[in-house]
Amino acid sequence: MSTKHVKRAFKYRFYPTDAQAAELSRTFGCVRKVYNMALAARTEAWTLRQERVNYNATSAMLTAWKKTGDLAFLCDVSSVPLQQCLRHLQSAFTHFFAKRAQYPRFKSKKKSRKSAEYTTSGFRFRDGALTLAKMAEPLDIVWSRPLPEGAGPSTVTVSQDAAGRWFVSLLCEDPSVGALPATDAAVGVDAGLDHLLTLSTGEKVTNPRHERKDRARLALAQRRLAKKAKGDGANRAKARRKVARIHARIADRRRDALHKITTRLVRENQTIVIEDLTVRNMLKNGRLARAISDAAWSEFRSLLEYKADWYDREVVAVDRWFPSSKLCSTCGTLQHKMPLNIRTWTCGSCGTTHDRDVNAAKNLLAAGRAVTACGAGVRPQRSSPGGQSAMKQETLQREL
């Protein structure tokens, strides 16, 4: 098995002392301040003078800001995270000018992610102990899994989520990542809400509906939060953390389930065929946005694609207008009408009885193999309102 030079992030939870928590909170605030000031300066330079300001210019601005009386507090924290946030801003503008992202936005004190990134000059990692700049003691990290042997972190990112939990992410080169033994196995995957995934093998993965299971607890916590007085009071902050903890529990369970199923699919199959869904358009449906978000189809695809890249597997996305539900996977006859309440149907040409979702997965697999063989995409069909997949409309409307 050949190995790859893959940079992999290993995330752990840690429990800071009061002094470390205060230092990190100051660092988060300074990172947000520098990022917003640099963004404002670059925006003003372009708006007023049609001038592009790069990273080197903002770095020089940071040096000047530290010498002013109002911003002298920037010298109290490590300069490494401040420089890194300027590099992140430069990357954000690069993606914007390449039309891969929207214009960078200012960081909010309450809504933006609290994080700071340290490069090798901003931390010390020795004998399994991680000590950040401006700190005398190492972080109390819960090492839930070992780091790759002989691999030290190249960058360290410290963050705090809305629930108040502290995390540290170490970016290391993982030599264990490499191409898996080649196999002839291929699978088509049909995503839905009734069943999270239906495979061309006939297997159906139950939709765990993590958000629905905690919906009553979440609604109660949100009602209690809504009754708290507006402002920065301690009671409101406590109620907000309660809501955030429930959201974090839901997200953790969802992510864990998706990691398990995507890892299994990648290990067992050489080619995985999915449908190219426009989840963003589907979320415009107010009645189903919660269920669609809970299914996390976009996260499923993202996990599947990067794991397939790690292990030299192939993920093929079939055009979203391919009529996989109406096409007989045995003889290829296209059914002109397929009422939404029909979950099993019999082909009038060959007499084969199909499960609707399994048949769709089989058709996706066949279409994906055709794409791989000849390099041609599946011909788009007539679009339906809202830019949604016809097959997904059937699944979504049945959920109503």
Q: What are phi and psi of 116, to 5 degrees?
A: -150, 135
Task: Show Cβ contacts of residue 291 under 8 Å, excluding neighbours closer than 6 positions.
Answer: 193, 209, 399
Question: Helix or strand or coil: residue 142?
Answer: strand
- Spatial separation of the C-alpha atoms in residues 124 and 131, rounded to whole Å: 5
Point out the residues that are catalytic.
Answer: 190, 275, 357
Nearest partner of 200 among 257, 273, 295, judged by Cα: 273
Gap between the Cα atoms of 396 and 190, Å rounded: 13
Contacts of 213 (CB under 8 A, 6+ apart): none
Q: H or E stretch including 266?
A: helix 234-268
Query: What are the backbone angles phi and psi of residue 171, rounded to the nearest 5°?
Result: -90, 115
CA atoms within 13 A on the CB side of 346: 2
Q: Which residues of 192-280 form beta strands (DSSP E)?
A: 195-199, 204-206, 271-275
